[in-house]
């Protein structure tokens, strides 16, 4: 059997000008899709969260590296001053180590800055990927739920009709009960008044 289902694939241009929230933090999204065991949604959500966490940790790492680089710069200036002042050759080795350390930190900072420039776009795309997964899953569920809703509406209408017929039947039976019961009570009252208890009991035994 051929599957004619087409998946929706929105892109940044489709969503230009739209204020798309981070779906995994959106209250409505969480209520509707947060517990859904859909592979595409789960993978897209995990990827989005991983990128957001990377952004946070990268910013923190960059901040700490810049502080360390400033400390290294001060240390280099101090050691350079000692070498020039006291001509301590042994400090040259320390100076070279400090310079190498600062150079390495500079390279790490540059790498982090490059990564931090690309991460926002990757996060936006990951959020769009989650949106696409959500739309595809949502529309698939909509079709199933619409079928279930249509069926329930038909069944509800049948139940209402059956309930209406039952209420009519109950009212008819109640009316018969009241009318016939009253006639029986009135008849017995009349008979008892005309014939008396003893004669009525005798007639009852003969008739019934």
Number of neighbouring beta carbons within 10 Å of residue 74: 11
pLDDT at 45: 95
Provide the pLDDT confidence category of residue 2 given band limits of 50, 70 and 90: very low
Q: pLDDT tens across 33-60, in order?
A: 988 889 999 999 999 999 999 999 999 9
DSSP track, the chain? -----------TTTTTT-----GGG-HHHHHHHTT---HHHHHHHHHHHHHHHHHHHHHHHHHHHHHHHHHHHHHHHHHHHHHHHH--THHHHHHHHHHHHHHHHHHHHHHHHHHHHHHHHHHHHHHHHHHHHHHHHHHHHHHHHHHHHHHHHHHHHHHHHHHHHHHHHHHHHHHHHHHHHHHHHHHHHHHHHHH-HHHHHHHHHHH-
Torsion of CA 66, 72, 73, 76, to 10 degrees: -170
Q: pLDDT tens across 86-144, in order?
A: 666 667 788 888 888 888 988 999 999 999 999 999 999 999 999 999 998 888 888 88
């Amino acid at each position: 059997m051929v599957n004619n289902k087409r998946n929706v694939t929105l892109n940044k241009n489709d969503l230009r000008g739209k204020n798309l929230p981070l779906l995994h933090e959106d209250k409505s999204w969480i209520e509707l899709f947060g517990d859904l065991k859909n592979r595409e949604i789960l993978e897209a959500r995990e990827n989005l969260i991983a990128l957001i966490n990377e952004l946070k940790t990268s910013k923190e790492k960059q901040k700490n590296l810049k502080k360390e680089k400033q400390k290294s710069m001060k240390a280099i200036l101090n050691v350079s001053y000692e070498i020039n002042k006291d001509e301590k050759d042994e400090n040259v080795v320390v100076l070279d180590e400090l310079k190498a350390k600062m150079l390495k930190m500079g390279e790490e900072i540059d790498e982090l800055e490059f990564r931090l420039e690309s991460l926002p776009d990757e996060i936006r795309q990951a959020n769009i990927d989650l949106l696409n997964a959500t739309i595809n899953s949502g529309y698939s569920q909509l079709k199933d739920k619409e079928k279930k809703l249509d069926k329930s509406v038909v069944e509800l209408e049948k139940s209402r009709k059956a309930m209406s017929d039952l209420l009519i039947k109950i009212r008819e039976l109640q009316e018969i009960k009241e009318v016939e019961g009253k006639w029986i009570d009135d008849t017995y009252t009349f008979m008892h008044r005309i014939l008396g208890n003893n004669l009525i009991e005798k007639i009852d035994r003969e008739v019934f």
